[in-house]
Structure 1
Amino acid sequence: METTTLHLHTAFTVDTVDPRIFGGFLEHLGRAVYDGVYNPESVHADDMGCRKDVLAALRRLNFTAMRYPGGNFVSGYHWQDAVGPREKRPKVRDIAWQSIETNQFGPDEFLELARRMDWTPMMAVNLGTGTPEEARNWLEYCNVDGGSKWADMRRENGYEEPHNVKLWCLGNEMDGPWQIGHIPAENYAILAQQTARMMKMTDPDIELVVCGSCAPDLPTYLEWDRKVLEHVRDEVEYLSLHRYVGNEFDDTEEYLAVTNSIDRQIEATDAVCLSAYHTRKTKRRVHLSCDEWNIWYRARHGEHLDGKGKYAPHLLEEQYNMEDVLVAAGFLNSFIRHADSVKIANLAQIVNVIAPIFTRGDEMFLQTIFYPIEMYSRRRTGTSLQVQVQGPGYTSKRYGKVNYLDSSAILNGDELSVFLVNRNLNEPMEVEVRLADAPIESLLNADFVAGTDPKATNTFEHPHRVQSCTHDDIAIKNGVATISLPPLSVYAGTLKIGR
């Protein structure tokens, strides 16, 4: 195969990579909270009842913004049920996932966990069955020092100091007909505007995410975003978008081309934000929060969505394989390439429910998609560079022309991190990394994950079938690095450059 060249220039930048694009999502859904991060009966339980083995794995992913408590769940959630003495918290029926919620793990427990894990809490308020006043009261509970009803309630519950939650979502997927309390765009926009104003009157330093289109195949796609932005012109900082993908037709090559579609969704949604700004519908540029993204298609129907009135039922439990590794890396490449517009992104989710970590009793293993996220997150600091790929590719039936190489790059002082995905199913690839205005001097570190079988999975019986390894198959000559990649592989490496 002919050599593929990745062309870069240190002056051709996109923007600083916001560390919050390496965020996660913890929803009260299935076994994500209960039997996931929280299980006081486990041999791994810490003083909070959280699983030390799960938390140790999560620390490896170095998540930043952690979204909570939902998701579809939040549209029927009333935060008052889940604070105060545990013995007084009611058990309730969650109609989003048809499960029993015990409220034994609530906002205070989550925020304590966030402190221990160094996560930036990203709370979502209920705008399905909830009200602007309920959302504002929750903000007071979390952020106001004391001397008023809800702040004093927090103090009575044992939290003297405010939680200082600065990132809030105004509901969840309100454009989706499946959502509890779904309403037309104009109605939601007014509700979001009222909520935002009340919340910012309580704490003007918060940042708000308003619901945008949650899927590109909905009939209201982008038109919803336009209408919402016309109403919340001064109150919000971010517009949400969600994206789940899958290999429904069992065509690996076609599936790996889906990054084209991810790019287009980001660019189209950002175009709406820019239009709103330039036509003075908004006074500031609203950026993007891709606060749900992942591979999800195997466990998306029927019994996978119905908790049947059970506590911590097995819902949305995907088993990931090698081809999913490349697609997860493709999402991250897209976020890095669009660092000027995407400021927050949340992997949905973090444990058991469409997640990189999976538990069974006191056992745990790491799913295949764990590894690209870990590899990228280690190298996330710096400025995104524009990438230009020159090399062979193929034509996808749905997504058009794609290069075999999918890539992104981050510059951090004299260190250049490159992220490379070889989408070729059968042939290795040699990638020349050429930095036009500076020589590449040496390799500092590199990891990769590869496999000849796109359907290879990790299991409890075979937990290490797919995993990352160090990579040193590189040649550097005359300031150009040549990196050898096997078929179906993801590479993340940091190079030392001269000036």
Structure 2
Amino acid sequence: MNTSTLHLHTRFTVDKVDPRIFGGFLEHMGRAVNDGVYRPESAYADDLGCRTDLQAALKKLRFTAMRYPGGNFVSGYHWQDAVGPRQGRPTVRDLAWQSIENNHFGPNEFLELARRMDWTPMLAVNLGTGTPEEARNWLEYCNIEGGSKWADLRREHGYEEPQNVKLWCLGNEMDGPWQIGHVPAETYAISAQQTARMMKMVDPDIEVVACGSCATDLPTYLEWDRKVLEHCRDDIDYLSLHRYVGNEEDDTENFLAVTNSIDAQIEEAAALCRAVQGAKRTKKRIGLSFDEWNVWYRARHGHHLDGKGKFAPPLLEEHYNLEDALVVAGFLNSFIRHADTVKIANLAQIVNVIAPILTRGDEMLLQTIFYPIEMFSNRGQGMALQSQVEGSGYQSKTNGYVDHLDASAILDGDRLNVFLVNRDLENPMEIQVKVADRAIGAFVSADSMTGRDPKATNTYEAPHGVTSCEHDDQSIRDGVATIVLPPMSVYAGTLTLA
């Protein structure tokens, strides 16, 4: 059995954990919206046409900021097409995913769903084929009480009160050559600045996210971010970054070590933000919005990306396994460890499309990655603590040396939330949690998930192959907690401090 120690001190803090790091993403692509969240023919459909069984499952994940409507989709999207009476909404062809969109589920339906789900809406505007004025008009439609063209149009559509959307994304992945309307950083920066200024003239209380680098392997990585920040940092509040990872080489140890690369990406983006802040001699801090992240590699090529002119085609439908769940937990640990810079993070996505939940007709399947998200998000409030791991580790093929134990911790008053991943493929691990200035008093609750095979998965026929359960292999002696984890496992526990 391996042994490791997690060293903590309640005064060695990082920052308060922003609840928006437990966000999600709902894009009009594949079966995420249509035949996913929105399925009016379902036996479970409510008055919006949204599935109540899906809503119940999603509520367990306690998503906060929910990004909508895209994604690549948004660069060809015009919000006016999707508001007003459904019979008057045009059916259009989406070029990003080569699919048909009937616009029956639009911004107003999304905002009503967000209200029912207690999500913070995070709307993305079209800076691919759209204009700053179109974005400004949408904000007026959403947030102004009345007495002007677009606000009065919302009221005509049956929404008397302002919708008060306070978080907006200025386009999507505009650095990507695949993006509709892709332009050089200098051109995007001008458009983003104009859009941000016009929108804040309408509602000065909003926050906006500018497009940063969406992939670390692009030749413009970080250079794009520098140019955008130098031009419009005074007008924006957050810089976005995206990351998808995979196990293309079927090397589980190396795959589980990808957290090193995730940490590095966050730290590089944060360092650039601080460098530009210093060069501009301003006190304003730009936060990071990690607004697309997940495991995605099996359904990333060819027919998985091409809707072939169909309505709600099955696109990007990844089937997740145990090792994927461990990596998802690693993402969340990284966000907590970087609570001083990562203020928003959105799992991409929430249903069917690279998602924790799959559907088949009116059936529903909770995938392996559902459980670590649930375990973390239910314990995610408080102050992130600096964490130091002492124990065994290994040298990975491309991601460097990592500890077998990946960890983070959050202090919430006299409660300590601890998150652990045992990356060892063969050996259990005994972990001591030591808080230097306090004694641990008792365990409040604890959950874990594991499996015998890193490729273990859930299916409709066997839906409980990999799930979470209560964890009881733990004890406290002399103010120190000892937790024993099986190989390839995720743990989330709440403890009290004496």
1:146-161 to 2 correspondences below 5 Å: 146-161=146-161
1:175 corresponds to which letter in structure 2? Answer: D
Per the alignment, do residues 181 and 281 of structure 1 end up closer, same or farther by CA in structure 2, a change over 3 Å counting?
farther
1:93-492 to 2 correspondences below 5 Å: 93-280=93-280, 283-492=283-492
2:169 corresponds to which letter in structure 1? Answer: C
Q: Tell me the secondary structure at the aligned position of residue 235 of structure 2.
A: coil
1:179-204 deviations in whole A, cap 9, x for unaligned?
00000000000000000000000100
Q: Tell me the secondary structure at the aligned position of residue 272 of structure 1.
A: helix
Q: Tell me the secondary structure at the aligned position of residue 335 of structure 1.
A: helix
| Contact kept in structure 2, 1:38 and 1:51, CA below 8 Å | yes
Per the alignment, do residues 191 and 208 of structure 1 end up closer, same or farther by CA in structure 2, a change over 3 Å counting?
same
Per the alignment, do residues 282 and 72 of structure 1 end up closer, same or farther by CA in structure 2, a change over 3 Å counting?
farther
> Within 1, Cα distance between the matches of 2:487 and 2:35?
37
1:388-447 deviations in whole A, cap 9, x for unaligned?
000000001211110000000000011001000000000000000000000001100000
Q: Tell me the secondary structure at the aligned position of residue 100 of structure 1.
A: strand
Per the alignment, do residues 294 and 282 of structure 1 end up closer, same or farther by CA in structure 2, a change over 3 Å counting?
farther
> Within 2, Cα distance between the matches of 1:465 and 1:8?
34
Q: Tell me the secondary structure at the aligned position of residue 24 of structure 2.
A: strand
1:325-375 deviations in whole A, cap 9, x for unaligned?
100000000000000000000000000000000000010010000000000
1:217 corresponds to which letter in structure 2? Answer: D
1:50-65 to 2 correspondences below 5 Å: 50-65=50-65
1:181 corresponds to which letter in structure 2? Answer: G
Say how many residue pairs are matched.
498
> Within 1, Cα distance between the matches of 2:391 and 2:497?
24
> Within 1, Cα distance between the matches of 2:224 and 2:446?
43
Q: Tell me the secondary structure at the aligned position of residue 304 of structure 1.
A: helix
| Contact kept in structure 2, 1:430 and 1:485, CA below 8 Å | yes
| Contact kept in structure 2, 1:230 and 1:281, CA below 8 Å | no
| Contact kept in structure 2, 1:229 and 1:281, CA below 8 Å | no
| Contact kept in structure 1, 2:253 and 2:423, CA below 8 Å | yes
Partner of 2:11 in structure 1?
11
Per the alignment, do residues 443 and 315 of structure 1 end up closer, same or farther by CA in structure 2, a change over 3 Å counting?
same
1:17-55 deviations in whole A, cap 9, x for unaligned?
000000000000100001111000000101111001100
Residue 456 of structure 1: CA displacement?
0.6
1:234-288 deviations in whole A, cap 9, x for unaligned?
1111000000000000010110000000000000000010011111165511010
2:171 corresponds to which letter in structure 1? Answer: G
> Within 1, Cα distance between the matches of 2:281 and 2:270?
14
> Within 1, Cα distance between the matches of 2:475 and 2:65?
37
Q: Tell me the secondary structure at the aligned position of residue 3 of structure 1.
A: strand
> Within 2, Cα distance between the matches of 1:134 and 1:48?
26
Give the superposed CA RMSD: 0.7
> Within 2, Cα distance between the matches of 1:167 and 1:331?
23
> Within 1, Cα distance between the matches of 2:283 and 2:17?
24
Per the alignment, do residues 310 and 282 of structure 1 end up closer, same or farther by CA in structure 2, a change over 3 Å counting?
farther
| Contact kept in structure 2, 1:230 and 1:282, CA below 8 Å | no
Q: Say if 2:6 is the partner of 1:25.
A: no
> Within 1, Cα distance between the matches of 2:36 and 2:281?
43
> Within 1, Cα distance between the matches of 2:3 and 2:290?
34
> Within 2, Cα distance between the matches of 1:325 and 1:211?
28
Q: Tell me the secondary structure at the aligned position of residue 61 of structure 1.
A: coil
1:193 corresponds to which letter in structure 2? Answer: Q
Per the alignment, do residues 283 and 479 of structure 1 end up closer, same or farther by CA in structure 2, a change over 3 Å counting?
closer
| Contact kept in structure 2, 1:296 and 1:354, CA below 8 Å | yes
1:218 corresponds to which letter in structure 2? Answer: L
1:210 corresponds to which letter in structure 2? Answer: A
2:151 corresponds to which letter in structure 1? Answer: A
> Within 1, Cα distance between the matches of 2:353 and 2:281?
38
2:440 corresponds to which letter in structure 1? Answer: I
> Within 2, Cα distance between the matches of 1:185 and 1:494?
45
| Contact kept in structure 1, 2:38 and 2:50, CA below 8 Å | yes
> Within 1, Cα distance between the matches of 2:57 and 2:367?
11
Per the alignment, do residues 30 and 281 of structure 1 end up closer, same or farther by CA in structure 2, a change over 3 Å counting?
farther
| Contact kept in structure 1, 2:2 and 2:428, CA below 8 Å | no
Residue 3 of structure 1: CA displacement?
1.7
Structure 2 unmatched runs, 5+ = none
Residue 233 of structure 1: CA displacement?
2.4
Percent identity reads 76
Q: Tell me the secondary structure at the aligned position of residue 199 of structure 1.
A: helix
| TM-score, normalised by the number of residues in structure 2 | 0.99
> Within 2, Cα distance between the matches of 1:30 and 1:284?
39
Q: Would you identify which runs of 4 or more consecutive aligned residues in structure 1 move more than 4 Å?
A: none
| Contact kept in structure 2, 1:22 and 1:345, CA below 8 Å | yes
> Within 1, Cα distance between the matches of 2:21 and 2:90?
35
Residue 452 of structure 1: CA displacement?
1.0
Structure 1 unmatched runs, 5+ = none
| TM-score, normalised by the number of residues in structure 1 | 0.99
| Contact kept in structure 1, 2:245 and 2:294, CA below 8 Å | yes
| Contact kept in structure 2, 1:170 and 1:211, CA below 8 Å | yes
